[in-house]
Structure 1
């Protein structure tokens, strides 16, 4: 059977089913996560069918979408033969300002409120995110089924230690693979308690005798790892199976350092409060692959035109019903700059380049070119111990180096004396005064500039060689960069 015929039969089958049970959804999504022509067809068909349900539900039950039904109602003739992305490309793009102004109007009236969380506010005014009783129950059953085959592989349930993320309000109560234990690293008592919890033995019915899974915000995990080393505890000697990091971008140096120190697989999870899921970094390609129940698009940052195939642009996500029910988000622009690469089956993979506002992008090109990626700059500075970093843990006294693995302090600016010329200034705050060590400072400037220009397929290098761009690296001592630090890279 050809993928096209397979898709047509699937669409007919799904259209006849009014109910989309979480257990069946988990089985289908597990298949769609695999790579192959039929799996790719399943992936595309699930997206299209669930998008149709998402649009119908939003128009029927959300005042925001029903007031704009002319945009969101998709006729059968209009959607026949069209892909999910083709249908989405004709719809408006939602931005953070829309969520702030129309937050209550977006809420669906056919479900009951269960919980409220919020964005952290690190990139703008915090936005409330609402979840219903019905969708939380759906997600709980969905993930329980998704994890079931993995759980069957354990003779004893593994123990899991997590450092909960308290920056987003109420946590969605989802099932976990391991028996959950929790602690933190944000004060002396917590971080010492976390080390005790991690290193002790347990006698819990049906569970393993020691912790094998660790998860938390990326900079918390790096900080905790450094603390263990300072106290003479070898992380690798604890024999963990996986360490999961989430939250803000972590420089490549520190991701690789975690893998070495723990001697296990490190899962880099890209999570978003606004989404009902997220993306995992592929350990081989280094690119992110989104959960199959999320639709990810890439658009031109200024025109909003969809970027098809391989290309750079702003990330736009759509939450699908019934994974999201109370607060439908259709074509929400996350403010993230990404580079999209399609694999041989047409499925997208994404390189995170940074927050759009933190990057320098040549938007005049038909396909936008990223001149300076804040993520790439973070990678460069994160590998240089001279770079000063954000002190996330000022109240902790039991750790010798509180800045290990933290976000580098830097600023990026540009000026264009003419339409064709761009002069770029990279300001970097050091842990020491560059005037005291001029030779070292000069070498650092040269290193940072050369690494900036050596990014694969660098549009900046081509512009510099053509004489239409220049780069100046400016170094300063502690406190030289004023204003709030860049928390979200």
Structure 2
């Protein structure tokens, strides 16, 4: 399909659709072409997004009671017009759960999420139509392999590609479901990677993995501590979902597993997200999710800068659990860049409720600080709960706190040794923390640090002095 034919097919798409109009022979090829060659099809992508946005809003207004009075009756929506609609956050999803469900789809299965904020489980209903469409979509995306006589891939999946939904990965022949948060899950996964299997029409060795940052961290630690080698050339891809990978861990993973790490920002609440791009060291969103940047002071939509991420997943990938302008609660920076994969580059900085504001639009994100100091081995780590490692706490996040007092911010980090008894080590670690933060945090924040040296303080604490919380997720 040439870009010209691709563009003409998008323009021919109907203005109003019904669920039975959506099939693999209509939309799946269009999405698959965009995903495989984003530069070539960039012009058509914007038109396709606006058409699907119009369909998404029309279907929500007609079939989800919550949106019936909120969305005006029009058929030509564009992304920059979303600012006219109200946003919805997780607390409102709890309150209006039954009314945001679309009555035009067939119930398929339920997933849930608590996020990493210790909230009550939020039940997410998925439709049969959505599940079947995902399978059609990914089958077409991988159609070259499926049309040939090649064996279908064998995978290992922690959770799923939906980041929370236990769902068979479309396009993969068979998946072993694993849990890398427990001793037995790590040991079982190592066993799966060392053995061969006999499934009809499916590869005899695991070639794909889909897991979290922490899950891969613990698997990597177990394999290296026990001198376990993965057969050369066995793994063809490793996909990480959830939260971005620290640079030091990415380097170690890719050196050991000998494949690139495909890093994705994703949420349990919806299908789709943003993929990491090595070219610009940022993330670009999938064509079936509309991202918005919301000004933290005015709550208005802005193009670039610092703000909260708001997402609208598009039909047909979200048909039953309808989300329009969903407030993710995540702090992001959006910039323009000369990147072949996309004009806008997104960088994820952490959950807003775990960020510290020091000045208008100047924030320290807990997640970005944790990532920046992750490679400093002299820092103490939170207990992981595992029992199978020589160094049980090695891979958890460093113990630290961000404390704001007036217009001053202090970062307290816990050393493995007492800083008073090891002053040389303490001085070295303090310099490392300062340099890592300057190198990895956004320019707006580092400029504030350099301009206000008296307002930025690093304090090293002795072991067991920083109160713990859940450092498994940030």
SS at 1:72's partner residue? coil
Q: Deviations over 1:62-98 (max 9, x none)?
A: 12111xx2x411435xx4xx6x222212111111121
Q: Deviations over 1:125-160 (max 9, x none)?
A: 232211122222222222222222354577333322
Alpha-carbon shift at residue 440 of structure 1 (Å) = 0.9
Question: 1:352 aligned to 2:344?
Answer: no
Q: Match for residue 431 of structure 1?
A: 416
Question: 1:372 aligned to 2:364?
Answer: yes
Alpha-carbon shift at residue 330 of structure 1 (Å) = 0.5
Alpha-carbon shift at residue 389 of structure 1 (Å) = 2.5
Q: Deviations over 1:49-68 (max 9, x none)?
A: 111111111111112111xx
Contact 1:239 1:262 in 2 (8 A): no
Q: Please say which of residues 234-243 and 275-284 is displaced more in the overlay.
A: 234-243
Alpha-carbon shift at residue 306 of structure 1 (Å) = 1.4
Contact 1:116 1:169 in 2 (8 A): no
Alpha-carbon shift at residue 273 of structure 1 (Å) = 0.6
Q: Match for residue 373 of structure 2?
A: 381
1:236–1:264: structure 2 CA closer, same or farther, 3 Å change rule?
Answer: farther
Q: Match for residue 95 of structure 2?
A: 101
Q: Match for residue 248 of structure 2?
A: 253
Q: Match for residue 397 of structure 2?
A: 407
Which residue, 310, 331, 339 being the options, matches 1:337? 331
Scaled by the length of structure 2, what TM-score is found? 0.88
1:177–1:285: structure 2 CA closer, same or farther, 3 Å change rule?
Answer: farther
Across the aligned residues of Structure 1 and Structure 2, the Cα RMSD in angstroms comes to: 3.0
Query: How many residues align structurally?
Result: 466
1:9–1:276: structure 2 CA closer, same or farther, 3 Å change rule?
Answer: closer
Contact 1:23 1:145 in 2 (8 A): no
Q: Please say which of residues 463-472 and 55-64 is displaced more in the overlay.
A: 463-472
> 1-side partners of 2:161 and 2:238: how far apart?
19
Alpha-carbon shift at residue 382 of structure 1 (Å) = 0.8
Question: 1:48 aligned to 2:33?
Answer: no
> 1-side partners of 2:359 and 2:321: how far apart?
32
> 1-side partners of 2:90 and 2:315: how far apart?
21
Scaled by the length of structure 1, what TM-score is found? 0.86
- How do 1:161-200 residues align onto structure 2 when only pairs under 5 Å count? 161-164=156-159, 170-200=165-195
Q: Which consecutive unaligned segments of at least 5 residues does structure 2 have? A: none
> 2-side partners of 1:35 and 1:163: how far apart?
28
Alpha-carbon shift at residue 108 of structure 1 (Å) = 1.6
Q: Match for residue 21 of structure 1?
A: 23
Q: Match for residue 419 of structure 1?
A: none
Alpha-carbon shift at residue 227 of structure 1 (Å) = 0.8
Contact 2:369 2:441 in 1 (8 A): no
Q: Which consecutive unaligned segments of at least 5 residues does structure 1 have? A: 417-421
SS at 2:207's partner residue? strand
> 2-side partners of 1:438 and 1:115: how far apart?
57
